[in-house]
Structures are given as C-alpha cells and as structure tokens.
C-alpha cells in the first residue's frame, strides 16, 4: 500500500497512481482538466467548524488531528475512507490538497489512517 500527500498545485507525476482531491472546495487557479483528479470525496474533508477553529490558531495540530479523526468515524466519512483505502490496497494513491503545509493538514491525517 502506498499513500502519498502532495499539493494540487504541483504537476502530476507518472507514479501518482489514483489522484484523490481531499479538499471540500476546488482549489483556486487550478483548471479541472489540468489537475488530473480521479476522485473527489468531499465527505472526507473536515467540517467547516473544525477548519475555522484550526485556521484561527485556536489549537494545536495534534488536537486538530484528534478532532478530525472523531469526525471521520461518522458513517458517511468512514465509508468514504474505506473506499479510498480499497484504492490504496490496489496501488498508489496520491492525496491532493491546496494546503500550504500538507504535512500538517487533514491530508496528512488521512494518509496516516490509510496506512494504518
């Protein structure tokens, strides 16, 4: 199983495998045909409340990750996570995000859960 996290602004690479956008909104300045996104499970993204809380600097990344994991336990999100996990079992999956620091974003939390 191979799960990668990349910024959607980076050019697609041949070894990206299945490219999954994990942001709720389409990233600014990215043409849909140029992004080469294969899947876009919007239900995997953090809630608006959690995103606002984290981006306002009200808590640590660790607390954000804990709260986000709790949201992912909801039936809809858990089902979508299982779907992406099945893709990762078949080959490489690249999680795409517009986050400036992908390693400290919800995409990193998803990658860790998928590889567990």
Q: What is the pLDDT of residues 79-98, one digit of tens each?
A: 999 999 999 999 999 999 99
Strands 2-7 and 92-97: parallel
In this prediction the pTM is 0.93
Total tally of structural domains belonging to the chain? 1
From residue 116, how far is each of 31, 85, 88, 98 by CA, in Å?
A: 33, 10, 12, 24
Give pLDDT tens digits for 26-84: 999 999 988 999 999 999 999 999 999 988 887 899 999 999 999 999 999 999 999 99
- Residue 32: phi, psi to the nearest 5? -60, -40
Domain with 74, as residue range(s), is 2-115
């Amino acid at each position: 199983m191979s799960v990668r996290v990349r910024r959607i602004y980076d050019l697609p690479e041949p070894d990206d495998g299945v490219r999954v956008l994990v942001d709720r909104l389409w990233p600014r300045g990215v043409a849909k045909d140029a992004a080469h996104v294969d899947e876009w499970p919007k239900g995997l993204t953090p809630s608006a409340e959690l995103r606002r809380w984290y981006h306002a600097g009200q808590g640590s990344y660790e607390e954000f990750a804990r709260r986000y994991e709790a949201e992912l336990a909801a039936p809809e999100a858990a089902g979508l996570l299982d779907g992406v996990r099945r893709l990762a079992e078949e080959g490489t999956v690249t999680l795409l995000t517009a986050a400036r620091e992908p390693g400290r974003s919800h995409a990193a939390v998803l990658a860790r859960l998928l590889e567990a």
